[in-house]
Structure 1
Amino acid sequence: MPPAPLPPTEAERLAVLRSYAVLDTEGEVAFDELVALAARLTGCPMALISLVDADRQWFKACLGLDLRETPRDRAFCAHAILDPTQALEVPDATRDARFADNPLVTGPAAIRSYLGVPLLTPEGHALGTLCVLDRVPRRHDATTVETLQVLARAVAANLELRRGLRRASGLAMTDPLTGLTNRCAVQAALAEAMAQSRPLALVAIDLDNFKEVNDAEGHAAGDALLCAAADRIRAALRPGDVVGRLSGDEFLVLLPGVAEREAALAIAQRIGAALQGFVPHAGRPLRLGASLGLALAPQDAEEPELLLRTADEAMRRAKRECRGGVATATRADADQLLRAAAIARAFDSDAAADEALPGATVHLQPILSFAAHAEAGAVVALEALARWSHPDVGAVPPAELFPILGTDRALRLGSAVRRRALAAVAALRQAGLTNARVSLNLSAGEVALSDIALHLADQVEAAGLSLRAVEIEITEEVLLDRVSDRTLDQLAALRGRGARLVLDDFGTGNSGLSQLLRLPLDSLKLDKRFVQRLGTDHRAEEIVRATVSLAHGLGLEVVAEGVETERQAAMLHNLGCDHAQGFLFARPMPLAALEDWLRARVTGKVKQLRKVS
């Protein structure tokens, strides 16, 4: 029994067969139904989808034959694939020299007749056949052959669909630029690794100055950096380590089995060193560098998402404190992230419970005038400061709260606090306790809203106040990039109706002087960092002096915030500041405490802002 010769493109054919990843897979209904239909339409008791491998034929679907594979040298189909354009018919195997002594003919299978149609790929290769067999001699007519050819094309189409789906799945798990696993795949690998409760180190990587290179040199240069970074990370890893690209210039490395922080740090440092240097592109060098964050499981975190966020937090610390180096996470980092998540969940439950945001409150801090009579400074304004608490997390300080909230939550909190502040000041005015204005802070997200001026006007009117009772505070950092000309025009229109516009934290932004030209202002608030260095740093005194002179030259008043000592107050007055705000006079207070404070002023029982010379 001579074996069938190999097709002339056998190496290519086998490579294509491998690309289908179908060998040794479980049965599939679509293929089982096709062989059953082939047997029924041809009247044969046996039908197969046979794939011819290097040294065997393997059956993806089989009817009437109790086999899953046979050696290739016994395969009728190995002969059928030699001419992919033709069906192979063997009317009586016992009379065919190629098959007369074949064990499939002489043995229990007792095959006597065969009809096989090659399964053609788009590349023109025959993977195997759809074939029908019988235990008696028979010759098939042209209609039967044509029917089997139609069914063979259906088998080939299903195989191609299967390959296409597999490729699509592979692409869905692969970053197309670098060839690394993508976010979905690397996060799945992280979850699977941690589910096994084995030690694991995680390294979060962010390229340094990538945006600058991308903007200055173009996207092709940025892509070159990303691909070079991917290659260098791969080269620095051990066998079995996993690296993926999360997005943009962020990468993630999984180090399975690494339990000691020192060992993990050594690998992270090796990765970091590999990422330092230059990448040639278009005849010029591009600077490559990265900052890395390291976290370990289970020491730092026991959940995949928390471990990832902990490593990311460590990477951000590296960006801030040791750019181009490696920062390691701690359990405290994970605990802080857990608290942040708890605060966000509690805030969302609070917001869902009531549009008024039940946990939101307002504290009001008086702003006093230096220009008042000799005994007591007048309260010219009350700054509204947001506070929030929840039964699950307690009272959350603003410095902790606002970085956690993000833009959308901050918008809800800001609106709720303004309503409370306006109502509180309206009540104080109605009670005759003050004529002070209410000073309202606008966050970056609020200033960016196209209808913020209209929203403010509606809230003021709903509280029964006029815009003459309102100051609107905007920091120069917020004003710098986020305000459209339309919004500026609307804020200017509010000023035209009586509201005062105040530039807060003056002197701390990137371009403070330029902001004085963008919006008609009434006042500047001098940042407390300058105020609190008065008397200890002569440079602070000169900055305050220059700011006051500049402001007064522009017709603006100056408010000094953060005043804590008598000496600071005296120096500010002598330097020409118009108003002061700080713990020396009053802390931010809820409405009831402010009412008591205002009443106590009449009796002289609280700290007064005396006129100093």
Structure 2
Amino acid sequence: MGPRPWLLWLMWMFLGLYLAGLMAHGKAFNPLVDLWLGLPASWAPAAVAGLAAYRARNRALALVAMALAAFAAGSTVYVTSLAGSSSLPFPSSADIGYLLFYPLVLGGLFVYLLPLRQRLARSVLLDAVVGSLGAASVLVVLLSPLLSAADGFPSFATSVAVAYPLLDLVVLAVTAGMAAVPGLATGRSGVILMLGLLVFAAADVAYAFRLENDTYYLGTPLDAGWTAGLCLIAAWAESFTREGAAANGASEGAWTPAVPMVATAAGLGVLIVGTGIPVPELAVGLAAATLLSAGIRTQLAFRQLVTLAEVRRQSRTDELTGLPNRRALYADAPAVLDAQQGAPCAFLLLDADRFKEINDSLGHDVGDRLLVQVSERLRRCLGPDDLIARLGGDEFAVLLLNAGEQEALELADRLRAALSEPLTLRGIALQVGVSVGIAMFPEQGKDLKTLLRKADTAMYRAKTSRTGRHVYASEDHSTGEERLRMLQELRIALAEGELILHYQPKVDAVTGETKGVEALVRWNHPRHGLLAPGSFLLLVEEGGLMNALNDCVLTLALDQAALWQTKGRPMTVAANLSASSLIDAELPGRIAAMLRERALPASALMVEITEDFMMPDRVRARDILAGLQASGVRVAIDDFGTGYSSLAYLRDLPINELKLDRSFIVSMTEDPRAAALVASTINLAHSLGLTVVAEGVEDGDALDQLGRYGCDQAQGFHILRPVPPAELDDWFSTFPLGSGLPSA
């Protein structure tokens, strides 16, 4: 889009020929050099800039082209006049063109730089001001012999003579200010422009000094100085059209601190020199303004540094807990690991158990306060040199220095113990479990990314094994990849209805009469076939899908109960609920609505909960269970005897049924102590008005023994394994609800 290459080459060729001619020039006028080489060399830059302005339709370039043309016109008048005379009067008509160059080129620079003003920071603008003032103060001192001619009431000729150094002063000051602007100072085209202005002004100042000392004569290489400056300015105009205005603007890049620093030193130097020798008052004023501007710039820089430091701190700090965040860990951990020089370290990844359920059920404000208390307890367990960070959500990372596997396991136990004590939030006592995955440096990973990946795999193994902490082993790798794949498939399964329910009957332990059924979830997996809940419940918890699973199970169970009722086979369906259900105050109302939608009585549903699910907040669990019971929904404690504080639960919680865990039942016929525990628990439950159900009945002897102990109901493979609804219907057709089981 810029000028044709031949025109640019022609401009440089004329400059080279003109300079070569001046080297052989004498003191007299030389038509070949001064006229036939000098004038084309002066007009070529104007032609290049004019064509660039025409093609770019740019006002800044148009003004610059007019400035170059004005100077070339002045040179034409000057040289052609000398052809017929040994000297010219001063001032002459040539000075009109020369003087017009300055306002036109400065106007072009103003139009060029004006759009940049809105994109430049205040600090950059101040840098430009400091640079301009500092340069001007020095130049006033240097040009003071020339400027002194303006004292008093100068004549017109004197005013014209003084105008040149004053305008050169402005041009050089503007150039110094441009040098402080990032992008202009570092970009190729910006450097060409500033160099052109400097060369032109330097030639002008040198000419003025030689004229003052009466040492100037026509035909020296100095005469090519103006033309060289004009050629550089024209080259900038050509690059402007070729690269575009955006490429010539202030771009992101390195700041140019040298300009304000040098300018400040220059201003200070002028003031110091002024204490010993007389300097112009204008120079003193400009130097003082330079130092004042530099002081403002320093104050602004200090405020920027404070702001940047705070922004950097905030970018590395978790807003909620005040701990370092993931970014800080990624920034600091590599340096810490390198400094260890192979000394053993442990990387621990901690994940709160069932946090998402608590967060969703009680609200994010409670979840946030819970995380704050968790972070405070974790921090108290660590040494001053250990790194801790919150990675996001309920995940925390710890880098334990100078520690082997045993020290890592001991720390994991301390962290888990610190979090095992209940936390009180909004009057609710919550107990947070945590799973810890451990990866060892350097044998299991020499960089943070590897350690984090392996610790994450180990953390999941800790969850699945229910050990609470696990050190990464090589065989864990394939398990981790499969877990991620299964988690994604589980989300799809919940959305596309791949989860189904199987049902297992609960019968009278003496008569065999069916009293109800328990709904047990299964995953009809496309690759692995039918999966029992033990294969995916931890994935449900990890993915924050427990509430979705609860809704799915309740919907399927109540739909099936409604279907059986339409067939004249009403029965109670028991469904298991997760921990999040027992901190969800809206659960009783939601279940009541689901029953009404299906025209089912409240007796059609029984909810089963396990002891450990009630650990987070017993008071809140009691209120919710009381609400369910008040609506007519029965409540059972599942897997009784495997959790904690069982007797306290029997005393405090509103429950209707107690289900003995199969671990007692399978050993009852051969272990007198187990049998005694079963018998005494049945008696205790009956004394509290509870129905007792024995799980895991595998043979007829166990069923008979339970009947003798007074157990109310039983379920297990001896009666019927969990089956789909169709198979259960077939079983009902063989053994109607009131007919009892066949004799063994």
Short-chain TM bin: 0.5 to 0.7
Which residue of the partner structure matches residue 98 of structure 2? none
Which residue of the partner structure matches residue 144 of structure 2? none
Counterparts of residues 576-595 of structure 1 (less than 5 Å): 576-595=710-729
SS at match of 2:545: helix
1:215-245: CA deviations, max 9, x gaps?
xxx9999698546x233x5xxxxxxxxx554
SS at match of 2:575: strand
Moved more, 507-516 or 160-169: 160-169
Which residue of the partner structure matches residue 668 of structure 2? 534
CA spacing shift, 1:506–1:271, aligned 2, 3 Å: closer
- Rg: which structure is higher? 2
- Tell me by how many angstroms 1:308 deviates: 3.6
Q: Following the alignment from structure 1 to structure 2, what is the Cα–Cα distance between the partners of residues 202 and 143? A: 61
Which residue of the partner structure matches residue 13 of structure 1? none
Q: Following the alignment from structure 2 to structure 1, what is the Cα–Cα distance between the partners of residues 301 and 556? A: 66
1:387-439: CA deviations, max 9, x gaps?
2345477544311322221285111112122221122232233324x443211
Counterparts of residues 588-607 of structure 1 (less than 5 Å): 588-601=722-735
SS at match of 1:516: helix
- Tell me by how many angstroms 1:341 deviates: 2.5
Amino acid aligned to 1:489: A
Does the CA-based 8 Å contact 1:523-1:559 persist in structure 2? yes
Question: Which of 463, 472, 476 lines up with 1:333 in the alignment?
Answer: 476
CA spacing shift, 1:200–1:344, aligned 2, 3 Å: farther
Does the CA-based 8 Å contact 2:628-2:634 persist in structure 1? no
Ranges in structure 1 where 5+ consecutive residues have no aligned partner: 1-27, 51-58, 81-86, 99-111, 114-136, 208-217, 234-242, 256-265, 279-289
Question: Which of 418, 421, 433 lines up with 2:557 in the alignment?
Answer: 421
CA spacing shift, 1:165–1:419, aligned 2, 3 Å: same
For the aligned residues, what is the CA RMSD?
Answer: 5.3
Q: Following the alignment from structure 2 to structure 1, what is the Cα–Cα distance between the partners of residues 650 and 597? A: 31
Question: Which of 456, 469, 473 lines up with 1:309 in the alignment?
Answer: 456
Amino acid aligned to 1:521: I
Which residue of the partner structure matches residue 345 of structure 1? 488
CA spacing shift, 1:370–1:307, aligned 2, 3 Å: closer
Counterparts of residues 154-173 of structure 1 (less than 5 Å): 154-166=297-309, 168-170=311-313, 172-173=315-316
Amino acid aligned to 1:345: Q
State percent identity of aligned pairs: 26
Q: Following the alignment from structure 1 to structure 2, what is the Cα–Cα distance between the partners of residues 525 and 275? A: 37
Moved more, 360-369 or 504-513: 504-513
SS at match of 1:489: helix
Does the CA-based 8 Å contact 1:446-1:452 persist in structure 2? yes
Which residue of the partner structure matches residue 454 of structure 1? 589
Question: Which of 120, 126, 130 lines up with 1:38 in the alignment?
Answer: 130
CA spacing shift, 1:316–1:414, aligned 2, 3 Å: closer
TM-score by length of 2: 0.52
Q: Following the alignment from structure 1 to structure 2, what is the Cα–Cα distance between the partners of residues 221 and 536? A: 50
Does the CA-based 8 Å contact 2:270-2:283 persist in structure 1? no
- Tell me by how many angstroms 1:193 deviates: 12
- Tell me by how many angstroms 1:608 deviates: 6.8
CA spacing shift, 1:458–1:318, aligned 2, 3 Å: closer
- Tell me by how many angstroms 1:471 deviates: 2.1
- Tell me by how many angstroms 1:171 deviates: 6.1
TM-score by length of 1: 0.62
CA spacing shift, 1:462–1:224, aligned 2, 3 Å: closer
Q: Following the alignment from structure 1 to structure 2, what is the Cα–Cα distance between the partners of residues 334 and 301? A: 17
Q: Following the alignment from structure 2 to structure 1, what is the Cα–Cα distance between the partners of residues 581 and 323? A: 40
Amino acid aligned to 2:624: T
Amino acid aligned to 2:669: G
Which residue of the partner structure matches residue 268 of structure 2? 88
Question: Which of 570, 575, 600 lines up with 2:704 in the alignment?
Answer: 570
SS at match of 1:381: strand
Moved more, 483-492 or 28-37: 28-37
Which residue of the partner structure matches residue 506 of structure 2? 367
Amino acid aligned to 2:562: A
CA spacing shift, 1:69–1:551, aligned 2, 3 Å: closer
SS at match of 1:583: coil
- Tell me by how many angstroms 1:251 deviates: 5.1
- Tell me by how many angstroms 1:192 deviates: 11
CA spacing shift, 1:188–1:469, aligned 2, 3 Å: same
Q: Following the alignment from structure 2 to structure 1, what is the Cα–Cα distance between the partners of residues 705 and 548? A: 40
Question: Which of 455, 468, 471 lines up with 2:606 in the alignment?
Answer: 471
Q: Following the alignment from structure 2 to structure 1, what is the Cα–Cα distance between the partners of residues 663 and 263? A: 89
Question: Which of 253, 260, 275 lines up with 2:399 in the alignment?
Answer: 253
- Tell me by how many angstroms 1:347 deviates: 2.9
Moved more, 181-190 or 485-494: 181-190
1:494 aligns with 2:648: no
Which residue of the partner structure matches residue 293 of structure 1? 438
1:460-489: CA deviations, max 9, x gaps?
222232112222223333345255254243
Amino acid aligned to 1:166: A
Does the CA-based 8 Å contact 1:366-1:381 persist in structure 2? yes
Counterparts of residues 26-105 of structure 1 (less than 5 Å): 31-40=123-132, 43=170, 45=173, 47=176, 88-90=268-270
- Tell me by how many angstroms 1:542 deviates: 0.7
Does the CA-based 8 Å contact 2:510-2:707 persist in structure 1? no
CA spacing shift, 1:164–1:308, aligned 2, 3 Å: farther
Question: Which of 580, 584, 591 lines up with 1:445 in the alignment?
Answer: 580
Which residue of the partner structure matches residue 384 of structure 2? 230
SS at match of 1:90: helix
- Tell me by how many angstroms 1:272 deviates: 4.9
Does the CA-based 8 Å contact 2:612-2:643 persist in structure 1? yes
Which residue of the partner structure matches residue 547 of structure 2? 411
Does the CA-based 8 Å contact 2:638-2:660 persist in structure 1? yes
SS at match of 1:524: strand
Q: Following the alignment from structure 2 to structure 1, what is the Cα–Cα distance between the partners of residues 563 and 466? A: 48
Q: Following the alignment from structure 2 to structure 1, what is the Cα–Cα distance between the partners of residues 704 and 483? A: 41
Amino acid aligned to 2:508: S
Which residue of the partner structure matches residue 543 of structure 1? 677
Which residue of the partner structure matches residue 11 of structure 1? none
Q: Following the alignment from structure 1 to structure 2, what is the Cα–Cα distance between the partners of residues 394 and 138? A: 95
Ranges in structure 2 where 5+ consecutive residues have no aligned partner: 1-119, 137-169, 180-185, 200-255, 351-372, 415-434
CA spacing shift, 1:47–1:167, aligned 2, 3 Å: farther
CA spacing shift, 1:29–1:340, aligned 2, 3 Å: same
CA spacing shift, 1:500–1:35, aligned 2, 3 Å: closer
Amino acid aligned to 1:158: A
SS at match of 1:555: coil
Q: Which one has the bigger helix percentage?
A: 2
- Tell me by how many angstroms 1:560 deviates: 0.4
CA spacing shift, 1:181–1:159, aligned 2, 3 Å: same
1:265-323: CA deviations, max 9, x gaps?
x96248659979x9xxxxxxxxxxx99822566799986753340354577799948x8
- Tell me by how many angstroms 1:77 deviates: 6.0
Does the CA-based 8 Å contact 2:123-2:300 persist in structure 1? no
- Tell me by how many angstroms 1:450 deviates: 0.7
1:203 aligns with 2:346: yes
CA spacing shift, 1:457–1:389, aligned 2, 3 Å: same
Counterparts of residues 478-517 of structure 1 (less than 5 Å): 478-480=613-615, 481-482=617-618, 484=620, 486-495=623-632, 499-517=633-651
- Tell me by how many angstroms 1:164 deviates: 3.4
